[in-house]
Amino acid sequence: DGGITQSPKYLFRKEGQNVTLSCEQNLNHDAMYWYRQDPGQGLRLIYYSQIVNDFQKGDIAEGYSVSREKKESFPLTVTSAQKNPTAFYLCASSTAGDIYSNQPQHFGDGTRLSIL
Amino acid sequence: DQQVKQNSPSLSVQEGRISILNCDYTNSMFDYFLWYKKYPAEGPTFLISISSIKDKNEDGRFTVFLNKSAKHLSLHIVPSQPGDSAVYFCAASDATGNQFYFGTGTSLTVIP
C-alpha cells in the first residue's frame, strides 16, 4: 500500500531538547514538504525538497532543520532554537512539478508535538 | 500575511443541499489551486484542483470555480452527504509549484 508514514503520532519534548520527526514515503515522489499547523491558522511551509540532497527553506524555517539523504525519507528536526514548537506537523510529497504539470500533494497523518 | 484566506471557519448544510465553500487569494502569480479535505486525526487528502487557464473543473459531486479577476475560488458539493463533514482547505501555488499556500480551513457539517 503506497503512502506517507509519519511517526510517532504523538511526541513530547522537554524544553531545550532537539527532537526529530520521521517522514517516509513509498510513492516514488521526488518532492517532499514539511508543514506546521496551529489552531486557527492554515498550513505553513517549514522546508521542502525537490530532489535528494537538496532542500529549501519555507516561510517559517527558523528553529528547524531537515535532511534528504534518501528519496524516501525527509526527517524534520525541531531544535531548541524553535521558541514555540508545540504544534501539529504534517509531511507531504508530490511528483516533481514543473510549469506545465502541477501536481497535488499527498499528506501523512501528522505528528502532534507537545512541550513538557 | 495570509495569501490564501478562508473567511468562514464553519458551515452547516442539510443533507442533499448544496455546500459552497469559499476561498480568496491575494497573489496574482498563483496559477494552480487545490482543495483538500481533512478528517480528524488524519492528514489532508487531495480533492480537486484547477489551473488558471480554466474557470471550472468538475469531478462527480465536486465542482471548483475560479474567478481570476476577483481572486476567488469556490468549491461546490452537490448533493451534500453526511460523509462530507470534514475540514476543507484551499491551497494555491505559482507556476513553479515549489510552494503551496494554504487557507485556514472551513469546517463543514452536513446534517442528516
Q: Enumerate the β-bridge partners of residue B53.
A: none
| Between B9 and A100, the higher pLDDT residue | B9
Span B67-96, pLDDT tens digits = 999 999 999 999 999 999 999 999 998 877
Q: Give the whole-angstrom CA distance, residue A107 versus residue A113.
A: 17
Quick one: what percent of chain B has pLDDT higher than 70?
99
Q: Look up cell 462530507; give the residue.
A: B84
Interface size A-B, in CB pairs within 8 Å, comes to: 67
Contacts of residue A105 in chain B, CB cutoff 8 Å? Answer: 46, 100
Q: Could you count the other beta carbons within 10 Å of the beta carbon of residue B93?
A: 23
At residue A63 the predicted structure's pLDDT band, cuts being 50, 70 and 90, is very high
| Residue B100: predicted pLDDT | 86
User: Is A110 part of the contact surface with chain B (CB cutoff 8 Å)?
Assistant: yes
- What are the cell numbers at A62? 527558523
Residue B79, preceding bond cis, omega within 30 degrees?
yes
| Residue A99: predicted pLDDT | 45
Span A26-46, pLDDT tens digits = 999 999 999 998 887 788 999
Mean pLDDT of the residues in chain A: 89
Query: What's the DSSP call for residue B83?
Result: G
Q: Give the whole-angstrom CA distance, residue A97 versus residue B39.
A: 26
Least confident piece of the model among A102-111, B7-16, B84-93: A102-111
Residues A61-80, mean pLDDT to the nearest whole number: 96
Residue B82, preceding bond cis, omega within 30 degrees?
no
- Which residues are CB-neighbours of A40 under 8 A, at least 6 positions away? B9, B104
Residue A34 exposed, middle or buried by CB count within 10 Å (0-12, 13-18, 19+): buried
User: Is A34 part of the contact surface with chain B (CB cutoff 8 Å)?
Assistant: no
- What are the cell numbers at A22? 520521521
- What are the cell numbers at A31? 518532492
Which residue of A9, A36, A100, A102 to mutate against B (max B Cβ within 10 Å)?
A102
